[in-house]
A and B are shown apart, each in its own frame.
Chain A
Amino acid sequence: MVRGISYQGVFRRAFIDSFRKLDPRLQYRNPVMFVVEIGTLVTLIMSLDPRVFGGPADSGARGYDVLVTVILIVTLLFANFAEALAEGRGRAQAESLRRTKAETVAHRIDESGAKLGDVPASRLHKGDLVRVDAGELIPADGEIVRGVASIDESAITGESAPVIREAGGDFSSVTGGTRVLSDWIEMRVEQEPGKSFLDRMIALVEGAERQKSPNELALTVLLAALTLIFLLVIDTLPPMAGYLHASLSVATLIALLVCLIPTTIGALLSAIGIAGMDRVIRFNIIAKSGKAVEAAGDVDTLILDKTGTITLGNRMADAFQPMPGVAYEDMVHAALLASEHDETPEGKSIVVLAEREGQHVAAGELDGASPIVFSAETRRSGVLLASGREIAKGAVDVIRRAAEKSGSPIPPELDAVTEQIARSGGTPLGVVEDGKVLGVIHLKDIIKSGMQDRFAALRRMGIHTVMVTGDNPLTAATIAREAGVDDFIAEAKPEDKMRRIREEQADGRLVAMTGDGTNDAPALAQADVGLAMNSGTSAAKEAGNMVDLDSDPTKLIEVVSIGKQLLITRGAITTFSIANDVAKYFAIIPAMFVTAVPALQALNVMHLTSPQSAILSALIFNALIIPALIPLALRGVRYRPMGATEMLRRNILIYGLGGVVLPFVGIKLIDLALTALGLARI
């Protein structure tokens, strides 16, 4: 979801930032580009005074040195721009989330509810109590301690329908920046200023303070090692060339160095990481660390709640099954009457189905009837008609007990029908009239549309899915089969989730799960990726390492894709960057030794016009490839779920082989352009 961000502003600021980031103290974090910066400094000094590094005073190569310097500076600016642009977009995204927050005034209160005075929201501390009335903005993330209110969360979720939040239970947490629509609440602030989820998220997209994630760190090490190798290659070249009485210009050596060290990935690495975080925000998910997003890509096992994630929250009536000797119409009509007063989605669905079957409540039929309300004790609901008829529906064991109590015979078919419904994944709901079992309503779990495809995709990614449900094993197995999940835990208690996570982890697997309730918190903390629902308790939000502002548990699947995409993009551009070196060698080595080793001209396979144009072309290609790949770095390499080997083959063809071939074409084209511009011989 994109909220009106001024991209023009982002570009302008990124442009200014690319110059600001030339500061060596900032460049130092990126070893590859730091080496480029030092090289630039050297050629810059040479452009000003060629004698500094032992060159002749008027070598006529000054124009060449200046050109090399300019290209190097542009290379640095491109790299900085990539990072600044990614930062700017992420920042804009995050700031639009909290834009409203800054000016909010908070009414502090004490434990008894007495007013303590107003303070700006930014001065609130963890543990402060605050009262928010209808029409006011909630000043900070926190938990309701008193009151019930409807709250407009559209500012962060984009969902316009208000939600109800109340003290106690699993719907007690509120987010700063959302608005109370009706009533009032008293809440406890749960975050220190500057430490809210949003603040943490913003820190993740700020290049300077960003913590590198583990894989990014490992890649940086590898890039530094490659840079060191090429530094060595270049450093040992002059003595070797000297033995052949060839002198090499310092600018050419620096040009070769910059071409060889992995500048492409070095320039884009940070942007890729930031853009990954940014993509997470676009999905309205707040990640607390880059590590969490990366871990999502590694997930082996996904533990999902059945209700609300795999199936719609409510079961729907699917069929009526009368017992032998009971007319179908009679049973449907009885079920209709028993459900007329039932406001639950299940009850409503029975009414809808009964009416579709042609049964309607006759005029006056329910006059004087009193509803039997569902209670935890009786576990049944229904209606007591004025005529004294009592029709009730409830779990089959409840109905059976009612029949037994009244002494009516229990139809022998009841068990068979019940089991058949359970086996097909449904929930049986018995209908009883004055102790006589009329039949069974087949309530069915409706699997959310598209879930089958998503689980199939997960299987192709190699992710094992586990469904957690309170249903009996028979029902659970059927739903699991229909939805296409690999495994299930039936009749699950909260601690079962935890146990399963521990088991999976003991086998070396990485586990992701979603949760919202307070009793999910330990499991969310234990899981490698815990996606907490924003609607959930603050304990859950604190325990998870990501929070979904839309409270849509299926988004875990998207997070996995984003995590994978992040890694793939890094790997692809690294491969591309290294593969590029082959062509650059063929351009630069013959050019370097054109006078000392004329035989090497046979390696000038691209037939570049002159030594200078060969070196400049390679260097310009090296610079231009950075902005050319910025869109890819920000968008990420397209990820489609497929097996690892297949994906590797595809990506190595595109980025490996492509990386070898493309620069041959690119360098040749630039050489032609330079020749046309008359810059080939200076």
Chain B
Amino acid sequence: MTWQGLLGDALLLVVVTLAAVPVGRYMYNVFEGDRSLLDRVMGPLERGIFRLAGIDESQGMDWRSYAIAFLLSNLAMAVVVYLILMFQQDLPFNPARLGPVAPTTIFNTVASFVTNTNWQVYSPEQTLSNLSEFALQFLQFATPAAGLVVAIAFVRGFVAGRRDLGNYYRDLVRALTRIFLPIAFIAAIALIATGVPDTLSGSVIAHTITGATQTIARAPAAGFEAIKQLGTNGGGIFNVNSAHPFENPGPLSNLIEEFLMALLPTSLVFTFGHYIKNRRQAWIIFGVTMSLMVVLLLVIYSAEAAGNPLVHRLLGVAGPNWEGKDTRFGISGSSLFTTLTTAYTTGAVNTMHDSLTPLGGLVPLFEMMLNTVFGGKGAGLLNILMFFIISVFVTGLMVGRTPELFGKKIEVREVTAAAAAMLVHPFIILAATALALSTAAGRAGIFNPGFHGISEVVYAYASSAANNGSAFAGLGASSPFYAISTGIVILLGRYLSMLLLLYIAGSLLAKKTVPASTGTLRTDTWTFGWIYLGIVLIVGALTFFPVLALGPIAEQLAMLAGRVF
């Protein structure tokens, strides 16, 4: 580790924090304020959209209507994109004349993009036409917005005196017109300025000085890159994702991309603070989550900086683990990017995660298993609050009252739904991993048998379940077995927990807000913040300890013991 590296990483986190506070307030205004910044420009546009779609956006929804609207809109988008991918060879905007896409790949891709996961089992520049890419890019706008507004609806369940969860369509449209489109637009221009290309032309053929010819794929990369990061999508337009010089040419673009993926989920914590009229609470959530992320960052950074002792012995020189990293970003830039992309469940990569040291690789894996280190658009806050419900229930009993969270009593119904939501994530990861490791089809896809193979498989399912989309690689993910199984895990990981949480919001909405007294367990204290974090870690650790022990932990210990595979 170098002090320059640490300083660079620290600087970015400070900038994110400074930006998140006003952006959090802005987002609150977008959803609740009477007036906000872009009214004059976007107001008429939004009204036009609502009139065209025949939607009464002033109509408040209960949890059922909100959930149904969310599901139906997702289904409609999925069907449209499905059809485009299915018939891309017959549709326009296919300059590279790419052929049909495999059916399992289409299923996996649609499931992956409609859920804001962006797990890619294909090589984009060799598989998808420009039209298909645009269809996916549309989802890269629409699905983070959908996730975000579900979190907003959930939070409204805590707001005293509210009678509905808001209008899904109004929320969705405003999220797009007021948040995602304007910020992505500015970000794309900033990325072009750092050297990211943006063109609709096909590949160019280059003749090298040695006489060989090279086909260089081009794409509308800057626009794609902006929403890829901002929407914590992560699906690259090139196969090597943010390690590709066209997606991420240098340290400056790298910083912009890191900033973009961290911006909205961090801001959402502060938006939440405005909703419950308790900014201190927002700072506590931010503080403990950021602390955890910083610790994990230090773990991966130090592990990568320390390098692999086996390699050191072989080469006779000690040094960092450079395998799978780009000198453009350095050890610190790679470690930070890896930490952020799995914390915020973006899934973009500028480093080959498969090449990380075992302990370094444990960090992104563990973040996706916890799924609460800020997390993706909306989903992250939902998971944090789900664990808040569990934490407040267990610890609330310890102060001798029926537990309350933000003034709402947490009773059988909420605990049942929160416990079920808590079950979903480990369930789909562990069950799918066990299935893959015990079947021939699953074992066939593993490139590196042994402990590392277990890491590769569990990483794939953790990434799918957390709707992250980053790949550890080293896995034949495009085989029908993995395409279908990850697709199913992705869908369950997204919709089951979101529906359960909307159900909780509906139940909370009907409850009176209890005024706080000194006997009430306050959740906006550091004491509670650390306890919450402890419960997240203990539940996460207890659930995933065995598989981590058999994967990265065993591998790290074996590496330190000098064992070679």
Which residues in A have some Cβ–Cβ distance to B below 8 Å?
A: 214-215, 217-219, 221-222, 224-226, 228-230, 232-233, 235-237, 239-244, 260, 294, 297-298, 300, 459-464, 507-509, 563-565, 567-568, 570-572, 574-575, 578-579, 581-582, 585, 589, 593, 597, 599-600, 602-603, 639, 643-645, 647-649, 651-652, 655-656
Say if the beta carbon of B287 comes within 8 Å of chain A.
no
Option from B410, B512, B563 in Cβ contact (under 8 Å) with A599: B563
Bin chain B's interface residue count: 35 or more
Q: How far is the CB of A219 from chain B (nearest CB, A)?
A: 7
B524, closest chain A residue (CB): A645
Contact A648 B553 (CB under 8 A): no
Query: Which of B77-85, B181-189, B292-300, B411-419 sits within the interface?
Result: B411-419
A574, closest chain B residue (CB): B394
Which A residues lie within 8 Å of B397 (CB)?
215, 219, 567-568, 570-572, 574
Q: How far is the CB of A581 from chain B (nearest CB, A)?
A: 5
Contact A603 B549 (CB under 8 A): yes
> What are 7 A-B residue pairs whose CB atoms fall within 8 Å in the complex?
A229-B422, A239-B438, A298-B401, A463-B519, A508-B512, A585-B545, A597-B554
Which B residues lie within 8 Å of A600 (CB)?
549, 553-554, 557
Dominant secondary structure of chain A at its interface with chain B: helix
In Å, the complex CA distance between A218 and B418 comes to: 11
Option from B411, B453, B527, B561 in Cβ contact (under 8 Å) with A645: B527
Say if the beta carbon of B441 comes within 8 Å of chain A.
no
Which A residues lie within 8 Å of B531 (CB)?
648, 652, 656
Given that A233-B543, A240-B437 are known contacts, is A648 also in contact with B412, CB under 8 Å in the complex? no
Contact B443 A222 (CB under 8 A): no
Say if the beta carbon of B451 comes within 8 Å of chain A.
yes
Contact A239 B434 (CB under 8 A): yes
In Å, the complex CA distance between A266 and B469 comes to: 39
Contact B519 A236 (CB under 8 A): no
In Å, the complex CA distance between A565 and B401 comes to: 9
Which B residues lie within 8 Å of A237 (CB)?
546
In Å, the complex CA distance between A232 and B422 comes to: 13
Q: How far is the CB of B492 from chain A (nearest CB, A)?
A: 14
Which A residues lie within 8 Å of B420 (CB)?
225
Additional A-B contacts beyond A570-B397, A571-B396, A599-B554 (15; CB < 8 A): A218-B415, A229-B423, A229-B539, A229-B542, A232-B426, A236-B434, A260-B542, A300-B519, A568-B398, A575-B395, A582-B538, A597-B554, A644-B519, A644-B522, A645-B525
Which A residues lie within 8 Å of B546 (CB)?
233, 237, 240, 585, 589
In Å, the complex CA distance between A218 and B437 comes to: 36
Say if the beta carbon of B159 comes within 8 Å of chain A.
no
Contact B518 A460 (CB under 8 A): yes
Option from B394, B402, B512 in Cβ contact (under 8 Å) with A222: B394
Option from A217, A218, A459 in Cβ contact (under 8 Å) with B393: A218
The 3 closest A-B pairs by CB, nearest first: A462-B519, A571-B397, A564-B400
Option from A464, A578, A581 in Cβ contact (under 8 Å) with B517: A464
Which A residues lie within 8 Å of B515 (CB)?
300, 507-509
Which residue of A217, A507, A508, A582 has the most chain B CB atoms within 10 A of its CB atom? Answer: A508
Contact A649 B407 (CB under 8 A): no
B420, closest chain A residue (CB): A225
Which A residues lie within 8 Å of B541 (CB)?
582
Which B residues lie within 8 Å of A226 (CB)?
419
Contact A509 B394 (CB under 8 A): no
In Å, the complex CA distance between A574 and B419 comes to: 15
Say if the beta carbon of B42 comes within 8 Å of chain A.
no
Option from B400, B539, B561 in Cβ contact (under 8 Å) with A568: B400
Contact B549 A644 (CB under 8 A): no
B516, closest chain A residue (CB): A462
Option from B390, B525, B538 in Cβ contact (under 8 Å) with A579: B538
Q: How far is the CB of A643 from chain B (nearest CB, A)?
A: 5
Which B residues lie within 8 Å of A228 (CB)?
423
Which A residues lie within 8 Å of B518 (CB)?
459-462, 643-644
Say if the beta carbon of B521 comes within 8 Å of chain A.
yes
Contact B443 A243 (CB under 8 A): yes
Within 8 A of A (CB), among B502-546: 512-515, 517-522, 525, 527-528, 531, 534, 538-539, 541-543, 545-546
Say if the beta carbon of B431 comes within 8 Å of chain A.
yes
In Å, the complex CA distance between A602 and B431 comes to: 27
Contact B399 A568 (CB under 8 A): yes
In Å, the complex CA distance between A119 and B419 comes to: 55
Contact A240 B434 (CB under 8 A): yes
Say if the beta carbon of B550 comes within 8 Å of chain A.
yes
Which B residues lie within 8 Å of A225 (CB)?
419-420, 422-423
In Å, the complex CA distance between A298 and B394 comes to: 15
Which B residues lie within 8 Å of A242 (CB)?
437-438
Q: How far is the CB of B405 from chain A (nearest CB, A)?
A: 13
Which B residues lie within 8 Å of A463 (CB)?
517, 519
Say if the beta carbon of B1 comes within 8 Å of chain A.
no
Q: How far is the CB of B179 from chain A (nearest CB, A)?
A: 34
Which A residues lie within 8 Å of B416 (CB)?
218, 221
In Å, the complex CA distance between A298 and B558 comes to: 53
Option from A235, A239, A649, A655 in Cβ contact (under 8 Å) with B527: A649
Contact B437 A571 (CB under 8 A): no
Contact B517 A243 (CB under 8 A): no
Say if the beta carbon of B454 comes within 8 Å of chain A.
yes
Q: How far is the CB of B397 from chain A (nearest CB, A)?
A: 3
Which residue of B396, B397, B543 has the most chain A CB atoms within 10 A of its CB atom? Answer: B397
Say if the beta carbon of B433 comes within 8 Å of chain A.
yes
Contact B521 A222 (CB under 8 A): no
Contact A297 B443 (CB under 8 A): no
Which residue of B390, B401, B563 has the most chain A CB atoms within 10 A of its CB atom? Answer: B401
Say if the beta carbon of B450 comes within 8 Å of chain A.
yes
In Å, the complex CA distance between A571 and B415 comes to: 14
In Å, the complex CA distance between A380 and B513 comes to: 51
B525, closest chain A residue (CB): A645
Contact B390 A222 (CB under 8 A): yes
In Å, the complex CA distance between A566 and B2 comes to: 54
B160, closest chain A residue (CB): A508
Q: How far is the CB of A640 from chain B (nearest CB, A)?
A: 11
Say if the beta carbon of B276 comes within 8 Å of chain A.
no
Say if the beta carbon of B430 comes within 8 Å of chain A.
yes
Contact A648 B451 (CB under 8 A): no
Q: How far is the CB of B234 from chain A (nearest CB, A)?
A: 27
Which B residues lie within 8 Å of A644 (CB)?
399, 401, 518-522
B432, closest chain A residue (CB): A236
